[in-house]
Structure 1
Amino acid sequence: MLHQIEASHFQPLVGTTCSLALPDGRALAVLVERVDLKPLSQMPGSRMPFAVAMTALGGSDFVHGSCALELPTVGRLEGMFVSRVPAMGRDERAAYFQVVFN
């Protein structure tokens, strides 16, 4: 199912808070910050690659792993690999994540 997901599935979530289901069963509230299209990474005949940026405003000890998220038009999306990204000048108390779809 992951290969059928497009940026348009995530765009309605931008600016909203969602519950990310972590691999250990915990739920992490994340703000979906943006969806970035990656046209320079697109292979001929394939979907447009994109990345989803999310922030856990209260911070988190979660680093990376296979997570699940409820998408409005698809339902529960399982098996998304979520990676933590460095704060790089942003609020150090928050935790920043991204999901990349190639």
Structure 2
Amino acid sequence: MLNTVTAADFEPLLGQDCVLDLTPELSVRLDVEQVKRRPECQVPGHEEARTPFDVLLTGREGEAAFHEAVANLHIAEGVVLESVYICRVMPPGGEMARPWYQLVFN
């Protein structure tokens, strides 16, 4: 499913939360903050492929933060993206109260 997901799949989730299963015992809630299409990252000669995009998410204040993970992300009722790579990023604007994370889809 990772190869078919697009920015349009995430855009309706703006302002909503999703759940990332870090381990079988530990899940964290992440808020979808931004979806940004990156047409400039398109590989030349692959115009028929999806437009690259990234998703910025925030963790909850006071909740355990992590640096990076490969995990399952529940984005909607019954919709799970398996084995997504997610990494922590610097927050835009310097807001440090909550951890920020990024998903990148090429």
Distance in 2 of aligned mates of 1:29 and 1:12 = 17
CA distances 1:48-94 after superposition (whole Å, capped 9, x unpaired): 00000000131533110112122338711111100100235432221
Unaligned runs of 5+ in 1: none
The aligned counterpart of 2:72 is 68
2:17 is matched with 17
Match among 82, 103, 106 for residue 78 of structure 1: 82
Runs of 4+ in 1 over 4 A off after TM superposition: none
Q: Which amino acid aligns with 1:77?
A: L
Query: Residues 23 and 100 (structure 1 numbering): CA distance in 2 closer, same or farther, change over 3 Å?
Result: farther
Maintained 8 Å contact 1:9/1:74: no
**Selected match of 2:53 from 50, 53, 56:** 50
Root-mean-square deviation over aligned CA pairs = 2.0
- Structure 2: give runs of 5+ residues left out of the alignment: none
